[in-house]
Structure 1
Amino acid sequence: MSRIGRAALGVGSVVAAAVGLVAFGNARWQRATRSQLALLEAARVTRPAGQDKIYTTRDIEGLPPPVQRYFRAVLKDGQPLIAAATFELAGTINMSETGEDWKPFTSWQRAVAHRPGFLWNGRVAMFPGVAANVHDSYIAGVGALHAAMLGLFTVAQVQGGGEIARGELMRYFAEMVWYPTALLPSQGVRWAAVDEHAAYATLVDGPISLTLLFSFDAAGLITAVHADARGAVVGKGMDKHMVMLPWDCTLSHYQLRHGVMVPTRGEVGKGGKPYFVGDLTSLVYHFSL
């Protein structure tokens, strides 16, 4: 065999091995995703028999004025309560703690209203042809983050209760704007007045109690969600540790989807530094019927 032929054979073998590795990694990640989804579905609870399954304006009587305006702006009388939502986001994530290293991502997410929980399955393009798969979740009171290059080689993994679970439930709470019937008092959220353009909301799940500040614009739409502190893992290797930082979500570009007004863009920052920008590309509701 000529030198050129041997070189071509070598390149072909490398390419075939790489393709096989990617396929193996994708299959392994898909199995892990199905396993996490099964846990999420197993944690769901059935709402009590006889409980209303639709929204009416009676549900918001007595709430702070900006909260009432919000529900009137995004829901209509007779709106079925949303039991679960499946949606896709695409955007960029800043992979640097101190600088700017934005990478494109696509993602699929499942969120359920009772018991509160979600699974985010993301794919981040790290380098040409090389992606990191990411699971971010809150399931049955446990928070978790797992990132793996090619779906095989773990580069980040945390799981547990405490601040990890609080941080993931906080994400879930802020994202209720995509399935807003979950924010109703009948669904367990308590609202407290601040002023004409803000209100506190409290969500309790097991031992975790969260209170976030929601801000509203003149049209009644939620434009921002703020937490004074959310746990963030910083550092590398043996120097990894958790710090508490202010956490902010900005919500915009509202559109009518399936009869419900929802934001189609979300931007998230911690400690005043943006790290996530995502656009809603699809949304499917599953109702309590």
Structure 2
Amino acid sequence: MHCSADDLPAAVRDLGMRLGVPPGGSEEAIVTLTQAGHMKRQLGSPSWMAFTARQTIAPTTCAFEWRARFGPLGSISVCDALADGQARLDVMALGFIPLARTAPTAALLRGERMRYLAELAWAPDAILANADLRWRGDGPDRLVVRTGDGPAAAEITMTLDGDGRIASTFAADRPRAAVEPTLPTPWRGRFSDYRLHLGRWLPFAGEVAWVIDGREEVYWRGALTSWSMAA
């Protein structure tokens, strides 16, 4: 179902326009992007792993698929995905040896929905085209976006920069685990290096952190290496 831009709060319509999105967004244009960066082996560790990744993001429904490769010759692969209301997180060695497969729980679904919302800066057409998103203003430079219902409902707050683009995202209680105890924890993302690319203003750099016991720990840093939209 298409969500008319006229049905959205004015601040949301304005955000989409500032990012270069036409009225209503491009409903059929799937985003495909690639990234390179580093991710911590585990929280609290000084050790980082290099990765490369390819991701697709849907504009009209809360869906994405992130496939990344880590380690020597990309021997460790990760699939982090959300589609049709189902979440998935798998880790494989050499492409066929399962190392981890996360149980499909409400906590995992909630966390993956939060990820989709937090990455709208990389799929700006979804801001206007995704009818599953519910928006409200929270002051002159903040927007709150929510999706889903019940225990898997997800919500994040966006803070805008001086140019009115998405500078950071925040969730007060993203689950750190898919099963009990799920450890709801403050979770923050930051975007930078905005560039005009194929008609859209996109952040070409980002980082993600957990806030544990009042201390922020960045565990993911990455940069876009390509970005495109196609039906």
TM-score, reference length from structure 2 = 0.86
Distance across 1 between alignment mates of 2:9 and 2:228: 31
* 1:216 corresponding residue in structure 2: 160
**Is residue 59–residue 185 contact of structure 1 (8 Å, CA) maintained in 2?**
no
Give the drift of 1:208.
3.9
What does 1:247-262 correspond to in 2, within 5 Å? Answer: 247-262=187-202
Residues 156-186 of structure 1, C-alpha deviations (whole Å, 9 max, x = no match)? 2203130101101111111121111211276
Q: Within 5 Å, which residues of 2 pair with 1:101-120?
A: 101-120=47-66
Structure with the larger RCO, 1 or 2 (CA within 8 Å, 6+ apart): 2
Q: CA deviation at 1:282?
A: 0.9
2:20 to 66, 72, 75: 75
CA contact (8 A) 1:59 1:186 kept: no
Q: 2:59, 2:130 within 8 Å by CA — same for their partners in 1? A: no
Letter in 1 for 2:164: G
> 1:5: which partner in 2?
none
CA distance in structure 1 between the partners assigned to 2:143 and 2:130 by the alignment: 17
How far apart, in 1, do the equivalents of 2:21 and 2:57 lie?
A: 22
User: 1:246/1:78 Cα in 2 relative to 1: closer, same or farther (>3 Å)?
Assistant: closer
Shift of 1:62: 4.3
Q: What value does the CA root-mean-square deviation take over the aligned residues?
A: 2.6
| Structure 1 spans left out of the alignment, 5+ residues | 1-46, 53-57, 235-239
CA distance in 2, matches of 1:194, 1:231: 23
Give the match for residue 79 of structure 2.
135
Aligned to 1:97: 43
Q: 2:67 corresponds to which residue?
A: 121
How far 1:99 sits from its partner (Å)?
A: 1.6
Code of the residue aligned with 1:136 in structure 2: it is D
Taking the TM superposition and a 5 Å limit, the aligned residue runs for 1:56-205 are 59=6, 62-64=9-11, 67-75=12-20, 77=22, 80-83=25-28, 84-125=30-71, 128-129=72-73, 131-184=75-128, 187-204=131-148
SS of corresponding position for 2:147 = strand
Choose from 145, 159, 173 the match for 1:229: 173
Q: Which amino acid aligns with 1:157?
A: R
More helix by share: 1
SS at match of 2:117: helix
Say whether the 8 Å CA contact 1:116–1:205 is kept in structure 2. no
Tell me, in whole angstroms, the C-alpha distance in 1 between the residues paired with 2:74 and 2:200: 37
TM-aligned CA distance change 1:179 to 1:124, over 3 Å: same
Describe the SS at the equivalent of 1:184: helix
Aligned-partner Cα distance in 2 for 1:79–1:259: 15
Contact 1:133 1:147 in 2 (8 A): yes
Decide whether the 8 Å contact of 2:69 with 2:75 is kept in 1: yes
Cα distance in 1 between the residues matched to 2:223 and 2:27: 21
* Number of aligned positions between the proteins: 225
Tell me how far apart the structure 2 counterparts of residues 274 and 145 of structure 1 sit (CA, whole Å). 20
State the SS of the aligned residue for 1:166.
Answer: helix
SS at match of 1:247: strand
Q: Is the 8 A contact 2:32 2:229 kept in 1?
A: yes
Q: 1:82–1:285: 8 Å Cα contact kept in structure 2? A: no
Partner amino acid, structure 2, of 1:95: R
Q: Secondary structure at the match of 1:155?
A: strand
Select the structure of larger CA radius of gyration: 1
Give the whole-Å Cα distance in 2 for the aligned partners of 1:154 and 1:228.
32
